[in-house]
Amino acid sequence: SQKIEQNSEALNIQEGKTATLTCNYTNYSPAYLQWYRQDPGRGPVFLLLIRENEKEKRKERLKVTFDTTLKQSLFHITASQPADSATYLCAWGGYSTLTFGKGTMLLVSP
Amino acid sequence: DTEVTQTPKHLVMGMTNKKSLKCEQHMGHRAMYWYKQKAKKPPELMFVYSYEKLSINESVPSRFSPECPNSSLLNLHLHALQPEDSALYLCASSQDGGPGANVLTFGAGSRLTVL
Protein backbone atom coordinates (compact mmCIF):
# COMPACT_ATOMS: atom_id res chain seq x y z
CA SER A 1 0.00 0.00 0.00
CA GLN A 2 1.04 3.61 -0.49
CA LYS A 3 2.97 5.23 2.35
CA ILE A 4 3.89 8.84 2.97
CA GLU A 5 6.98 9.47 5.07
CA GLN A 6 8.29 12.65 6.56
CA ASN A 7 11.56 11.49 8.01
CA SER A 8 12.44 14.53 10.07
CA GLU A 9 10.36 14.93 13.21
CA ALA A 10 11.87 18.34 13.90
CA LEU A 11 13.97 20.92 12.13
CA ASN A 12 15.64 23.91 13.82
CA ILE A 13 16.94 26.78 11.69
CA GLN A 14 17.94 30.37 12.12
CA GLU A 15 15.80 33.27 11.00
CA GLY A 16 16.54 34.33 7.44
CA LYS A 17 17.71 30.89 6.30
CA THR A 18 15.85 28.58 3.92
CA ALA A 19 13.99 25.71 5.54
CA THR A 20 13.74 22.52 3.47
CA LEU A 21 11.31 19.78 4.49
CA THR A 22 11.14 16.35 2.86
CA CYS A 23 8.23 14.09 2.02
CA ASN A 24 8.94 10.65 0.55
CA TYR A 25 6.46 8.17 -0.81
CA THR A 26 6.69 4.48 -1.53
CA ASN A 27 5.26 2.46 -4.39
CA TYR A 28 3.43 4.32 -7.11
CA SER A 29 3.59 8.04 -7.73
CA PRO A 30 0.57 9.86 -6.30
CA ALA A 31 -1.38 12.02 -8.72
CA TYR A 32 -0.73 14.98 -6.45
CA LEU A 33 0.75 15.94 -3.12
CA GLN A 34 -0.45 18.66 -0.79
CA TRP A 35 1.30 20.56 1.97
CA TYR A 36 -0.44 21.91 5.08
CA ARG A 37 0.65 23.96 8.06
CA GLN A 38 -0.64 23.14 11.53
CA ASP A 39 -0.24 25.25 14.65
CA PRO A 40 -0.59 23.59 18.09
CA GLY A 41 -4.20 22.72 18.94
CA ARG A 42 -5.50 24.03 15.60
CA GLY A 43 -6.66 22.48 12.36
CA PRO A 44 -4.26 22.18 9.41
CA VAL A 45 -4.26 25.00 6.86
CA PHE A 46 -3.71 24.27 3.17
CA LEU A 47 -0.58 25.80 1.65
CA LEU A 48 0.28 24.29 -1.73
CA LEU A 49 -0.66 21.48 -4.08
CA ILE A 50 1.61 20.01 -6.71
CA ARG A 51 0.59 17.53 -9.39
CA GLU A 52 2.62 14.59 -10.63
CA ASN A 53 3.37 16.28 -13.96
CA GLU A 54 4.54 19.53 -12.32
CA LYS A 55 8.16 20.00 -11.28
CA GLU A 56 7.71 23.03 -9.11
CA LYS A 57 5.05 25.31 -7.57
CA ARG A 58 5.59 28.64 -5.83
CA LYS A 59 3.57 30.89 -3.57
CA GLU A 60 5.27 33.93 -2.07
CA ARG A 61 8.15 32.54 0.08
CA LEU A 62 7.02 28.95 -0.37
CA LYS A 63 8.18 26.50 -3.01
CA VAL A 64 7.29 22.86 -3.54
CA THR A 65 9.01 20.42 -5.88
CA PHE A 66 7.96 16.96 -7.02
CA ASP A 67 10.59 14.46 -8.18
CA THR A 68 9.01 11.22 -9.40
CA THR A 69 12.45 9.65 -9.91
CA LEU A 70 13.44 10.14 -6.28
CA LYS A 71 9.82 9.61 -5.12
CA GLN A 72 10.10 12.78 -3.16
CA SER A 73 8.56 16.20 -2.62
CA LEU A 74 10.56 19.03 -1.08
CA PHE A 75 8.95 22.01 0.64
CA HIS A 76 11.04 25.16 0.94
CA ILE A 77 10.45 28.31 2.99
CA THR A 78 12.87 31.06 2.00
CA ALA A 79 13.84 33.95 4.30
CA SER A 80 12.27 32.06 7.20
CA GLN A 81 10.77 33.95 10.12
CA PRO A 82 9.93 32.91 13.69
CA ALA A 83 6.24 33.14 12.67
CA ASP A 84 6.88 30.22 10.28
CA SER A 85 7.40 27.94 13.30
CA ALA A 86 4.74 25.23 13.07
CA THR A 87 4.25 21.61 12.04
CA TYR A 88 4.17 21.04 8.29
CA LEU A 89 2.27 18.05 6.94
CA CYS A 90 2.44 16.55 3.49
CA ALA A 91 -0.59 14.64 2.28
CA TRP A 92 -1.35 12.20 -0.51
CA GLY A 93 -4.73 12.17 -2.15
CA GLY A 94 -6.82 9.20 -3.06
CA TYR A 95 -10.49 8.96 -4.02
CA SER A 96 -12.40 10.97 -1.39
CA THR A 97 -9.56 10.73 1.08
CA LEU A 98 -6.39 12.47 2.03
CA THR A 99 -3.67 10.59 3.93
CA PHE A 100 -1.23 12.66 5.97
CA GLY A 101 2.40 12.13 6.81
CA LYS A 102 3.51 12.43 10.42
CA GLY A 103 4.64 16.00 9.92
CA THR A 104 7.84 17.92 10.55
CA MET A 105 7.95 20.46 13.36
CA LEU A 106 9.84 23.53 12.19
CA LEU A 107 11.35 25.91 14.74
CA VAL A 108 12.78 29.18 13.43
CA SER A 109 14.97 30.93 15.97
CA PRO A 110 15.51 34.71 15.97
CA ASP B 1 -11.23 33.03 10.78
CA THR B 2 -11.84 29.52 9.49
CA GLU B 3 -14.83 28.96 7.22
CA VAL B 4 -15.54 25.63 8.92
CA THR B 5 -17.03 26.13 12.36
CA GLN B 6 -16.76 23.46 15.03
CA THR B 7 -18.53 23.42 18.39
CA PRO B 8 -17.76 22.98 21.17
CA LYS B 9 -14.07 23.90 21.23
CA HIS B 10 -13.55 21.82 24.36
CA LEU B 11 -15.57 18.91 25.73
CA VAL B 12 -15.03 16.83 28.84
CA MET B 13 -17.22 13.77 29.23
CA GLY B 14 -17.48 10.64 31.29
CA MET B 15 -17.46 7.18 29.79
CA THR B 16 -21.24 6.79 30.21
CA ASN B 17 -22.17 10.14 28.69
CA LYS B 18 -23.73 10.83 25.30
CA LYS B 19 -22.54 13.98 23.58
CA SER B 20 -22.22 15.41 20.09
CA LEU B 21 -19.67 17.43 18.17
CA LYS B 22 -21.03 19.80 15.55
CA CYS B 23 -19.55 21.11 12.33
CA GLU B 24 -20.90 23.65 9.84
CA GLN B 25 -19.63 25.07 6.56
CA HIS B 26 -21.15 27.67 4.26
CA MET B 27 -18.81 27.36 1.30
CA GLY B 28 -21.16 25.17 -0.74
CA HIS B 29 -18.78 22.26 -0.42
CA ARG B 30 -20.23 18.85 -1.23
CA ALA B 31 -17.94 16.72 0.91
CA MET B 32 -17.37 16.82 4.67
CA TYR B 33 -15.00 14.83 6.83
CA TRP B 34 -14.23 13.91 10.41
CA TYR B 35 -10.59 13.36 11.37
CA LYS B 36 -9.15 12.31 14.72
CA GLN B 37 -5.74 13.55 15.81
CA LYS B 38 -3.74 12.39 18.83
CA ALA B 39 -0.79 14.39 20.13
CA LYS B 40 2.24 14.40 17.81
CA LYS B 41 0.39 12.20 15.28
CA PRO B 42 -1.10 13.05 11.88
CA PRO B 43 -4.85 13.44 11.43
CA GLU B 44 -6.56 10.09 10.75
CA LEU B 45 -9.69 9.92 8.64
CA MET B 46 -12.81 8.64 10.40
CA PHE B 47 -15.74 9.42 8.08
CA VAL B 48 -16.46 11.06 4.74
CA TYR B 49 -19.82 12.37 3.59
CA SER B 50 -19.76 13.04 -0.11
CA TYR B 51 -22.87 13.73 -2.16
CA GLU B 52 -25.04 12.33 0.64
CA LYS B 53 -23.09 9.08 0.78
CA LEU B 54 -21.20 8.01 3.88
CA SER B 55 -17.82 6.31 3.75
CA ILE B 56 -16.42 4.85 6.92
CA ASN B 57 -12.91 3.98 8.03
CA GLU B 58 -13.58 0.43 9.14
CA SER B 59 -11.22 0.75 12.10
CA VAL B 60 -13.46 3.39 13.73
CA PRO B 61 -15.46 1.86 16.61
CA SER B 62 -19.25 2.03 16.61
CA ARG B 63 -19.28 4.32 19.65
CA PHE B 64 -18.68 7.09 17.10
CA SER B 65 -21.58 7.76 14.72
CA PRO B 66 -21.76 10.54 12.15
CA GLU B 67 -24.89 12.33 11.08
CA CYS B 68 -25.32 14.66 8.13
CA PRO B 69 -28.62 16.60 8.50
CA ASN B 70 -27.88 18.58 5.31
CA SER B 71 -24.98 19.39 3.05
CA SER B 72 -23.75 22.17 5.36
CA LEU B 73 -23.82 20.29 8.65
CA LEU B 74 -21.97 17.27 9.94
CA ASN B 75 -22.36 15.99 13.48
CA LEU B 76 -20.40 13.35 15.34
CA HIS B 77 -22.34 11.55 18.04
CA LEU B 78 -20.33 10.12 20.90
CA HIS B 79 -21.52 7.37 23.24
CA ALA B 80 -19.75 5.19 25.80
CA LEU B 81 -16.33 6.50 24.88
CA GLN B 82 -13.06 5.30 26.37
CA PRO B 83 -10.24 7.44 27.79
CA GLU B 84 -8.11 6.54 24.74
CA ASP B 85 -10.66 8.38 22.59
CA SER B 86 -9.39 11.65 24.05
CA ALA B 87 -8.03 13.61 21.10
CA LEU B 88 -8.50 16.61 18.85
CA TYR B 89 -11.41 15.99 16.50
CA LEU B 90 -11.15 17.89 13.26
CA CYS B 91 -13.93 18.57 10.80
CA ALA B 92 -13.06 19.46 7.21
CA SER B 93 -14.82 20.11 3.95
CA SER B 94 -13.85 20.08 0.28
CA GLN B 95 -15.48 21.20 -2.92
CA ASP B 96 -16.30 17.63 -3.83
CA GLY B 97 -15.26 14.21 -2.71
CA GLY B 98 -14.59 12.69 -6.08
CA PRO B 99 -11.27 11.75 -7.62
CA GLY B 100 -8.95 14.65 -8.07
CA ALA B 101 -7.17 17.18 -5.97
CA ASN B 102 -9.40 17.65 -2.95
CA VAL B 103 -8.10 20.58 -0.96
CA LEU B 104 -9.43 20.39 2.58
CA THR B 105 -10.56 23.33 4.66
CA PHE B 106 -10.34 22.39 8.31
CA GLY B 107 -12.14 23.74 11.32
CA ALA B 108 -10.28 24.76 14.47
CA GLY B 109 -11.05 21.41 16.09
CA SER B 110 -12.88 20.15 19.16
CA ARG B 111 -10.63 19.03 22.00
CA LEU B 112 -12.27 15.99 23.63
CA THR B 113 -11.27 14.62 27.02
CA VAL B 114 -12.84 11.38 28.24
CA LEU B 115 -12.56 10.75 31.97
State the 10-residue block means of pLDDT for chain A, 110 residues long: 80 96 84 92 94 92 93 95 97 76 95
Cβ contacts of B97 within 8 Å, gap of 6 or more: A96, B30, B31, B48, B49, B50, B51
Q: Residue B96's pLDDT is what?
A: 76
Q: Is B45's pLDDT higher than 60?
A: yes
Nearest CA distance, A59 vs chain B (angstrom): 16
> Of A49, A40, A37, nearest to A88 (Cα)?
A37
CB spacing of A43 vs B50 below 8 angstroms: no
Nearest CA distance, A58 vs chain B (angstrom): 17
Q: Residue A97's pLDDT is what?
A: 73
CB spacing of B92 vs A96 below 8 angstroms: no
* B86 contacts in chain A (CB < 8 Å): none
Interface of A with B (CB under 8 A): 31-32, 34, 36, 41-46, 49, 51, 89, 93, 95-103
Across the interface, of A41, A45, A51, the residue whose CB is closest to B111 is: A41
Backbone dihedral angles phi then psi of residue A71, each to the nearest 5 degrees: 55, 55
Q: Where are the beta strands (DSSP E) in A1-110?
A: 4-5, 10-14, 19-25, 32-38, 45-51, 56-59, 62-67, 72-77, 86-94, 97-100, 104-109
CA distance A87 to A34: 14
The mean per-residue pLDDT over the stretch B13-21 comes to: 93
Nearest CA distance, B42 vs chain A (angstrom): 5
Cβ contacts of B106 within 8 Å, gap of 6 or more: A43, A44, A45, B2, B4, B35, B90, B91, B92
Q: Residue A92's pLDDT is what?
A: 84
Torsion sign, CA atoms B54, A96, B61, B58: positive
Q: Residue B80's pLDDT is what?
A: 93
CB spacing of B42 vs A45 below 8 angstroms: no
Q: Is B1's pLDDT higher than 60?
A: no
Q: Residue A28's pLDDT is what?
A: 73
Q: Residue B99's pLDDT is what?
A: 60
By C-alpha distance, the chain A residue nearest B91 is A43
* B108 contacts in chain A (CB < 8 Å): 42-43
Is the pLDDT higher at B72 or at A68? B72
